[in-house]
Amino acid sequence: MTLAIGDLAPNFQADTTEGRIDFHQWLGDSWGVLFSHPKDFTPVCTTELGAVARLKPEFDRRGVKVIGLSVDPVDDHGRWAADIEETQGAKVNYPLIGDTDLAVSKAWGLLPAAVDGGSAGRTAADNQTVRNVFVIGPDKRIKLILVYPMTTGRNFDEILRVIDSLQLTATHRVATPADWKQGEDVIIAGSVSNDEARTLYPEGWKEPKPYIRIVPQPR
């Protein structure tokens, strides 16, 4: 199964480093980020888990729950977390899902459903497709999918930037332009007529073209 933006995030029950969870119950009414890893004790992923640990207060401030996924057992995750703290200077402060039967990876379209067996004996190269970031909304629907190769570490500042845009555009009828950051001007959504826009933005807007209507970020 291939997931797309707007799809319902597949629910699952799994063991994690913080106990067994039902994913939808764990998420509750929060936004969520699930980011996946092909194997424990891999170098790029080690840096990524450390980066997320350092940025955890920023995710918390936005009301976003973060959870990692790796195909290895939870016990291995615990030993890996010790390495992450030692090498990255940050203690893993969010749950890591164990996926030894590969059920979560298959449900989320990260590994083919036809893959036999479990995680034992599989290499990072076998699991190289398990390198996604999903942002999930409070409605349990997928809002963003990013896919990274094993050789490129993820940019979590960019993921925070996208979350800012997603949260803004979920509550206001606007879109954000290229390279937008919190506090910068935004674009009135194309679904808003000029008559509606005059009500929403009585001070008017900049209009370099009729289809580009620029206003300050709503507060």
Residues marked active site are found at: 45
Q: Which residues pair with 13 in a beta bridge?
A: 22
Please, which residues have CB within 8 angstroms of residue 70's CB and are 6 or more apart in sequence? 36, 37, 38, 39, 40, 45, 76, 77, 80, 96, 97, 98, 99, 130
**Nearest Cα to Cα of residue 92 among 58, 46, 29, 157:** 46
Angle among Cα 53, 57, 59 to the nearest 5 degrees reads 85
> Which residue type sits at 154?
R
Three-class HEC string of 97-142? EECCCCHHHHHCCCCCCCCCCCCCCCCCCCCCCCCEEEEECCCCEE
Residue the block writes with tokens 């009301």 = 63
